[in-house]
Structure 1
């Protein structure tokens, strides 16, 4: 995807670290990430643009919106991700004007006033970084809970390793954070009221300029300025004092950590209070700003300095909760939710069965299409600019690949494995440069499940031989998927019988093709929770239904909804079905 990260930064903050860290991970996954901000200090991949979001006069804001509209159109931005109040206000309007999906990560408490309540300006989805912010957005600003989803800070946890306790002549206490605003007030009070500056080697790490009130401490405190080597800085401390990312990174290094921020003092982080700490972003967010009791800080410092390391359980909790890969996986899912829901378009997954050459081959169940019409379908898809994907393609990259900018993707699926798939379909796929996924029944030689239907018997049609299945798979235009041994209604079977139908079919095909299968189709589209769990347990990465499942493909990769193609689906009918919004309109109707 083409993603624009928007910030309003005048100095390094947690929001900038978050945006660039997440942005670099997205870039490594193949996304094109752009940045726009007042300033951008952190090294980052991808183009960046300067815009003075903090200049908030009415003419300036008109300029902000106009410039954002220009960037969105010029760079084909598919989604805007804002990270501050100032940037989100302008981005919200620009996205409304251009129809661009937008999310906003909310890094701190929001101001409460009448205009803010009426105009949240957070786009399609707001992502508070902790539970306390989410509660404030609901209670104070009236943001609908359905518009909110907690999305934690992403940390490159591999950069931070538990280190040996330092051997310092005097205990080193490292305070990390801004020296301006509420964090500056917090640091001043810690130095003036809580810490024995003669007893401890106190170091203040900040990218902010010191104002004159800190001059009184310069003989006893080391003001180190900003550092790019955060792990080294943390490893040298006997105790780290900070909030937000500072506390998380300190705990990843195994350092005893006093979590105190703009709103609350959590105290020394322990396994007993880590969930409370996470819910408040380690003290940065609370019910009311600067509601901090400083009276116990000195005692907490004395107590924790007797420890060499923090509890290993804490480090494991932080790794599990803030791991960058997990956080960006979550973000990609949200991006897909917002993008598809806003535009009401999804990659069409269409379903064929068998192909005929003349009227004598027609069936009674409507699961056929004349091969001449199939060729017309492929010609139309070609003219519309479609390219085809298979599940193997998605497994090698990522489901979000289907939203690649400048591309229009479709997936062609074909059920049962009829012999005509080899004789008639494969040559046309090669001719027009399309690929398909063919789901194969392996325990039958013909469509017994339909022929022996007592209520409505079908014409007998041959299935592919082993040799034809192998040739289809080797053609380069077909992925073979599983479809059971005998095409039963799986939801009528016991779990054991379902397992046998699925695993035996999978084993036979994998032995034949000498590679693992990626996808499976439920016969008749019928399944239950046992079916889905078995499909996942045996190693399938995707499973398709027929007319059940969420409208967004990524929301349940084991119940992917498909669009049926029938004998009467002519070129116009196909055009209606593949425009991208067909299922959204159909379900609404």
Structure 2
């Protein structure tokens, strides 16, 4: 999938660190990530294009949109991810013109204007980094809640760990962040009103060009430029002052941290205020801007310097909330959902049961299909240039490979494990170089669940032998999935009964095949929450039902819907089920 990250900035910002950190991770997952911004300071993977978003005249705005249209076409962009107010307006119109998907991360409190209320210009999904931004989007901009999802700043938490406390002769206080805009004003007031230079060694780490107003502190404060080794600075500090990612990374290093940003001073972070800190992105956002009582800061600084470390519980909470892998997994799901909803590009999953060669094999229930019609189905899929997948493919490959341009994928499934799957289905899979998933019942030799019933009993149909199951599994054309021991209606059983049916079937098949099972099918398509919980607990990565709410494969991995194929499903009927039911947009 091709992603364009758009930012507007003249110096390094938290948004840039977020975009490049996430972008590098996405690239490792198989995405192609491109960047467009006024500048990009941080080391990154992916191609960077320079565009002066901060020059906002009407003519410039037209130029921005035109250049974005060029980039979208040149790089076959499938989704634009905007990270700033200036860039998102241009991206919004470029995406409108091209019809591609757009998401916007909102990194801070937004200025409220009449135009921004009427036209949000945020695209298909809006991703505030914290709860305070979430609330403002709803309250001030009336953004619909169904397109908003909190997506926090992802941090490579594995790069940060507790270090021994520094042994400085004089306490070192490090202020880290921009020196422009509200953050610059904040830093100036901290230096001018709150910090005693005789008692502390104060250093300011910022990539910003230093305003002449800071000259009055030059003999008492050490002004560093941008540092590529922020961890070393953090670990040598007795107290770190900052907001957003600065505070997160400081706490991950175990350092006492004073969270203060554009909207508020949270104070020294501890277990009592960590929830408030997370909700405000560590002081960067709040109910109103610059809501800070500077008279209390001196005592807070003293309080922070009394401790050599922050609370380990606080560090663990930060690690849990901002782990990059977790954040990127969430972002990938958002990308997929946005793209699928925009272009209706879902993977159709079709469901067969058994196959016949003559009318005497039909039986009572409509769970069969003539093998000649099956071959016609396969010919149609070939003509439509579908490639077949199994759930093992989905598990082994990166999530987004199915969204590749000019690719069509389908999953073929067959329930119960009838003997005809071995004699009739497998040869056609080999002939057309297709793959399928066969869900096998293991404690029955025939379809007892349909035969030994009081009303409307079916004819006896043999199931595959263990040798046949092993053979089709080893063919390379069939993934075997679980389907319980005896094919019961799971939602009528107790939790323990369900667990036995699902787990023992899985254990038995895995021992037979010598490999882990990836997916499970609910018999009759009937299940309850216990069924889903058990399937997940015993190690299944996917579970499929039958017809119902059309969920994509990633929306709920344990409630995946399928398209049922019936005896009278003709070639046109299959085409209509796949295409006209809006599973796939051409």
Name the TM tier (shorter chain). over 0.9
Corresponding residue of 2:23: 23
Corresponding residue of 1:520: 520
Corresponding residue of 1:296: 296
| Worse-matched range after superposition: 332-341 or 267-276 | 332-341
Paired with 1:42 and 1:266, the residues of 2 have a C-alpha distance of 28
Corresponding residue of 1:32: 32
Paired with 1:268 and 1:476, the residues of 2 have a C-alpha distance of 59
CA contact (8 A) 1:345 1:581 kept: no
Structure 1 residues 44, 401: CA separation in 2 closer, same or farther (over 3 Å shift)? same
Kindly state the Cα deviation for residue 208 of structure 1 after the two structures are TM-superposed: 0.5
Q: Where do 1:190-589 residues align within 5 Å?
A: 190-549=190-549, 551-579=551-579, 581-582=581-582
Corresponding residue of 1:181: 181
| Worse-matched range after superposition: 105-114 or 335-344 | 335-344
Q: Where do 1:117-128 residues align within 5 Å?
A: 117-128=117-128
Kindly state the Cα deviation for residue 570 of structure 1 after the two structures are TM-superposed: 1.7
Kindly state the Cα deviation for residue 386 of structure 1 after the two structures are TM-superposed: 1.2
Per-residue Cα deviation, 1:420-468 (whole angstroms, up to 9, x for no partner): 1111111111121111000011111111212233322222221111110
Structure 1 residues 399, 561: CA separation in 2 closer, same or farther (over 3 Å shift)? farther
Secondary structure at 1:21's aligned position in 2? helix
| Worse-matched range after superposition: 161-170 or 50-59 | 50-59
Corresponding residue of 2:7: 7
Secondary structure at 1:555's aligned position in 2? coil
Paired with 2:583 and 2:17, the residues of 1 have a C-alpha distance of 40
Kindly state the Cα deviation for residue 402 of structure 1 after the two structures are TM-superposed: 2.6
Paired with 2:478 and 2:33, the residues of 1 have a C-alpha distance of 33
Kindly state the Cα deviation for residue 302 of structure 1 after the two structures are TM-superposed: 1.5
Kindly state the Cα deviation for residue 146 of structure 1 after the two structures are TM-superposed: 2.0
Kindly state the Cα deviation for residue 581 of structure 1 after the two structures are TM-superposed: 4.8
| Worse-matched range after superposition: 51-60 or 573-582 | 573-582
CA contact (8 A) 2:202 2:221 kept: yes
Secondary structure at 2:469's aligned position in 1? helix
Per-residue Cα deviation, 1:212-258 (whole angstroms, up to 9, x for no partner): 11111111111110001111111110000011110111000101011
Q: How many residues align?
A: 585
CA contact (8 A) 2:162 2:253 kept: yes
| Worse-matched range after superposition: 340-349 or 172-181 | 340-349
Corresponding residue of 2:87: 87
Secondary structure at 2:81's aligned position in 1? strand
Paired with 2:77 and 2:365, the residues of 1 have a C-alpha distance of 45
Paired with 1:82 and 1:371, the residues of 2 have a C-alpha distance of 51
Paired with 1:115 and 1:57, the residues of 2 have a C-alpha distance of 16
CA contact (8 A) 2:440 2:483 kept: yes
1:103 aligns with 2:95: no
Gaps of 5+ in 2: none
CA contact (8 A) 1:128 1:148 kept: yes
Secondary structure at 1:331's aligned position in 2? helix
Kindly state the Cα deviation for residue 583 of structure 1 after the two structures are TM-superposed: 5.5
Paired with 1:70 and 1:468, the residues of 2 have a C-alpha distance of 55
| Worse-matched range after superposition: 549-558 or 164-173 | 549-558
CA contact (8 A) 2:106 2:126 kept: yes
CA contact (8 A) 2:277 2:283 kept: yes
Per-residue Cα deviation, 1:20-66 (whole angstroms, up to 9, x for no partner): 00111111111111111111111111112112111222222222222
Corresponding residue of 2:64: 64
CA contact (8 A) 1:549 1:559 kept: no
Kindly state the Cα deviation for residue 398 of structure 1 after the two structures are TM-superposed: 4.2
Paired with 1:341 and 1:232, the residues of 2 have a C-alpha distance of 45
Per-residue Cα deviation, 1:143-180 (whole angstroms, up to 9, x for no partner): 12222111110001111111111111211100001111
Paired with 1:175 and 1:485, the residues of 2 have a C-alpha distance of 63
CA contact (8 A) 2:30 2:398 kept: no
Paired with 2:410 and 2:124, the residues of 1 have a C-alpha distance of 26
CA contact (8 A) 1:550 1:556 kept: no
Per-residue Cα deviation, 1:530-566 (whole angstroms, up to 9, x for no partner): 2112212222111110013552221211111000111
CA contact (8 A) 2:69 2:98 kept: yes
Secondary structure at 1:297's aligned position in 2? helix
CA contact (8 A) 1:416 1:440 kept: yes
Secondary structure at 2:479's aligned position in 1? strand
Corresponding residue of 2:133: 133
Paired with 1:103 and 1:15, the residues of 2 have a C-alpha distance of 14
Paired with 1:580 and 1:157, the residues of 2 have a C-alpha distance of 46
CA contact (8 A) 2:344 2:582 kept: no
Secondary structure at 1:86's aligned position in 2? helix
Kindly state the Cα deviation for residue 201 of structure 1 after the two structures are TM-superposed: 0.9
Structure 1 residues 557, 549: CA separation in 2 closer, same or farther (over 3 Å shift)? farther
CA contact (8 A) 2:53 2:86 kept: yes
Gaps of 5+ in 1: none
Corresponding residue of 1:150: 150
CA contact (8 A) 1:440 1:480 kept: yes
Secondary structure at 2:520's aligned position in 1? strand
Paired with 2:284 and 2:111, the residues of 1 have a C-alpha distance of 15
Structure 1 residues 508, 264: CA separation in 2 closer, same or farther (over 3 Å shift)? same
CA contact (8 A) 2:348 2:584 kept: no
Paired with 2:544 and 2:71, the residues of 1 have a C-alpha distance of 38
CA contact (8 A) 2:105 2:128 kept: yes
Per-residue Cα deviation, 1:368-411 (whole angstroms, up to 9, x for no partner): 11212211211221222211111111122344433234421111
CA contact (8 A) 1:548 1:559 kept: no
Structure 1 residues 566, 582: CA separation in 2 closer, same or farther (over 3 Å shift)? farther
Corresponding residue of 2:169: 169
Secondary structure at 1:553's aligned position in 2? coil
